[in-house]
Amino acid sequence: MTRKILTGLSSEAYEHPFDRKALASLQNMPGVSLLLKKVNEYGIDRLLRLQSLGSEIRISSRNFPQLHEAFVETCRILDVASLPELYLFRGTGHIESYIVGVEKPLVGINLDAMEWLNTDELLFVFGHEIARIKSQHMVFHQMAIVMPSLKNLLSSTTLGVGGLLAGGMELGLYNWRMMARLTADRAAMLACQDIDVATTTLMKLAGLPDEYLTTAVIEDFLVQAREFAANNFDSVDKVTKILSYTEPALSWVVMRAGELLKWVDSGAYDNLIQQENLSTPEEPEESEGKEEKTPEEKEGWNFLTSW
């Protein structure tokens, strides 16, 4: 399959409106500057990189050519000039990937992903991680990763004041991190450029290996995803929502698939992929508005209060 190289691609061209609103809300929370300062003081960026460098296998074109080639192609398609380092870590029984490093990003992918995913599907997974670089939101993404440990550390070093600020911001970070997944999935779709590939990848992220991905299973998954995206969950109480989206074991692939399908079905993906000048997106705000004509969007939808 020949894929379009998206030279000049701006993250604003595909950014999900829920992501944008959640980030704006997070940035307006009191204490953000304090936490960013502490993250820098404690050398969190360097620590996370050292953990990967000291524990995982660095990927090259020589040792794992298929992984390396898919990664290079993803960065080329999404117009990321500086290639991050890529590392392979041990299997966990399900597909995992991550990205860390504000100044010098580093991507990790596990053995299960290498064994379960074909080359096209690897583009989707890599595109999801590379999206953090495109959006230039690595500092917030990384803060969300270390927040549980950082909250306890701040509480002990600032007589509890920093811990209180971090505790309130933790929910804001989790809310934004969930919404940022929706933007990252769009970047992943732009990387693989095939909704069928995106669908099977999300299903594998849900735990289904190739042998179970029959036509009937895939079709039923698409029906389920569209049903979920069309539902209104306002009756679910707030505590249930908090417990749900702070549970790290939940992948939310059905919700993510539903949102991705809405984007593709709206024609926004095709309009973007056919543009010649991707550095100046054609009125993304207007196209997003047409896509998300819902009460939740009009009232400032967020994952905590509106699903």
**Residue ranges of the domains in the chain?**
11-306
pLDDT tens per residue across span 222-233: 999 999 888 765
Q: What is the pLDDT of residue 183?
A: 95
Average pLDDT along the chain: 82
What is the Cα gyration radius of the chain?
A: 19
Q: Is the pLDDT of residue 107 over 50?
A: yes
pLDDT value at position 46? 84
Given this model, what pLDDT does residue 59 score? 97
User: Structure pTM?
Assistant: 0.84
To the nearest 10 degrees (0 to 180), the angle between helices 195-205 and 161-192 is 140
For the chain, give the number of residues: 307
Helix and strand element counts for the chain (H, E): 16, 4
| Integer Cα distance of 121 and 192 in angstroms | 7
Question: Other CB atoms closer than 10 Å to residue 68's CB: what's the count?
Answer: 16
Q: What is the pLDDT of residue 177?
A: 84
Q: Which of 83-87, 183-187, 227-231, 292-296 is predicted least confidently?
A: 292-296
Residue-wise burial string across 192-226, b where 16 or more C-beta atoms lie within 10 A, e elsewhere: bbbbebbbbbbbbbbebeeeeeeeeebeebbeebb
125-161 pLDDT, tens digit per residue, is 999 999 999 998 888 888 777 776 666 665 554 444 4
Q: What is the DSSP letter of 83?
A: P
170 pLDDT more than 70? yes
Which residues, in sequence order, are CB contacts of 272 under 8 Å at separation 6+? 13, 14, 190, 278, 281
Query: Which carries the bigger pLDDT value, residue 110 or residue 240?
Result: 110
Structure tokens at 124: 């989707």
| pLDDT tier at 298, thresholds 50, 70, 90 | very low
Are 136 and 80 contacting, i.e. CB atoms less than 8 angstroms apart?
no
CB 89 within 8 A of CB 182: no
Higher pLDDT, 176 or 59: 59
29 or 47: which carries more pLDDT confidence? Answer: 47
Cα–Cα distance for residue pair 254/186, rounded to 1 Å: 15
